[in-house]
Amino acid sequence: PTLSEEWSACLQTLKGYSRKVFLVAFSPDSTRLASASYDRTIKIWDTSIGTCL
């Protein structure tokens, strides 16, 4: 997809999975992101610094 000129090409890469991520959801205040993978793991991310909690 084409990205707006104001955005970088890579906003955030979710690393640490052995298979594809199939679901992501933000917390109501957008401070956390939950991601689920086909490797049967769920990770919670801090959106302000991009790290897995």
Residue type, 14: L
Place of tokens 């991601």: 35
Q: pLDDT tens digits, residue range 1-53?
A: 454 566 565 666 778 888 999 999 999 998 999 999 999 999 999 888 888 89
Cα–Cα dist 26/23, whole Å: 11
> Where in the chain are the domains?
21-52
Structure pTM? 0.71
